[in-house]
Amino acid sequence: MSKRRKKSRGNPARQASAKSASRRRVDDLLLDFRTWLHEGHGSAGGEPDDVVAVLQMLLEARSPNGATPVLPPDPDFLAEMLGSSREQQEDIYLPVVETLHDYLHFLQEYPGAAVDSGALIQAMSVVHDELDRIHDPAFLLTRFLAEDSRPSAETRLQDLRATTVVSAVDSFLYWMGPSAPATQKGGLRRKDVEPVAAMLGIPAEGVNKRDDAVPPEVTEGALFSGEGLTIQQSTAKTKVLSMWELPELAAWWKALLEMEIIELGSTKVYPGPAADDWMSSHPLVALELREDFVTAFIGAALQEEAEPFQRDGFLAMLGQRSIPVIIGLLVDALHREDDPAAETAPPEMNLLAVRPRMLMAALARLGILQGGEDAHRVPASLRPAVVQAIFDARSRFLGYSEELPAAR
């Protein structure tokens, strides 16, 4: 009768010794990595000990059996690990990617790694691609659309209705009634500029002749002083020959037309197909329409900057160059902490800052932004509309091709 031979499980002492050697190798690696960071290498930021702790966590997760490797993981595994970290640990995802970036660069210089150069290059390519994606403004902006970062639909609707830019629509529909006279160019008559502009908080009146030679926007007061650039709104009524000389009113009117809240006839303006929906008692219908209107208004306001109408030649020249500056300011306002006392960088004192800061001040007066000058921030309830406007503007004016997640 033959006896079955037991399969050898190896020498336990030898296995323990190998595991101990592997552990020492990792400890040496982490010590050298910490020294490398202390010498000023790396881009992860934070304290070197914190960066090393993240790396240690990643290495241990990479090898649950205890045989922690020093070599970079293969690119497919690395991509899978990054995807898992992105979904499960969003709050530490950026430190994870930046730590991997520094670790791979460190391995290029680490004498004890014996790294396969081909594997290292592929791994670095995966991490660099992920860093590019993370730092893309489009990726950064989408986090404001996350369900858990938004107020309830009821709160958002209430806050939107409280803004001047939105509440003025209700006032105008009531003022217009079944119809109102319009010019052949599709705007308000001069005599109607004053009451409609007042709905937006704009002190203005239409006149047949303007006595002064000062462009209408200068009455808003972009002033240089010893302490920098100051934006002041005049309380005196701006005299205009046409409603199109008032950029805020012109943008608001164009948004009404784009959203089909109003429509034009040959000599009159009428409630448009969406006017009934605007007055709808259904909260989700009302919310979606108001968010889309704010988005349309911001887009139209930027278009007013890109294609100035009857402007002074000097300020008109700055219009197109102002667009990327304004978009940047809106992104800053989205990321700024909701804290009125938050410190901000002093404003740049240059002529290119004139139009962007005037528009930001206008958006604040209309309720789209909060906070004082140079500390503007986007209220939480308006973030979806502003994010959509930024995406639209990046596509329309800057040539980016990107899509925003459909859910809002």
Q: What does the pLDDT look like over 206-218, one tens digit per residue? A: 998 866 544 444 4
Which residue in 77, 74, 63 sits closest to 22, CA to CA?
63
Amino acid at the residue 283:
P
Amino acid at the residue 321:
R
Q: Contact at 8 Å (CB) between 193 and 243? A: yes
Which residue in 70, 292, 127, 262 sits closest to 182, CA to CA?
262
Q: Is the pLDDT of residue 361 over 80?
A: yes
What is 221-282 written as a DSSP string?
Answer: -EEEETTEEEE---SSPEEESSGGGSHHHHHHHHHHHHTTSEEE-SSEEEE-TTHHHHT-S-
Q: Contact at 8 Å (CB) between 91 and 31? A: no
- CA dist list (Å): 15 to 19, 21, 64: 6, 10, 16
Residue 343 is predicted with a pLDDT of 46
What is 167-211 written as a DSSP string?
Answer: HHHHHHHHHHTT-EE--TTSS--HHHHHHHHHHTT--EEE-S---
Residue 32 is predicted with a pLDDT of 84
Residue 94 is predicted with a pLDDT of 72
Q: Is the pLDDT of residue 118 over 50?
A: yes
Q: Is the pLDDT of residue 311 over 80?
A: no
Residue 217 is predicted with a pLDDT of 46
Q: What does the pLDDT look like over 52-82, one tens digit per residue? A: 887 777 766 655 454 445 555 566 666 666 6
Mean pLDDT in residue range 208-230: 48
115 versus 35: which is more confidently predicted?
35
Contacts of 186 (CB under 8 A, 6+ apart): 257, 264
Least-confidence region, from 198-207, 322-331, 343-352: 343-352
Q: What does the pLDDT look like over 169-197, one tens digit per residue? A: 999 999 999 999 999 999 999 999 999 99
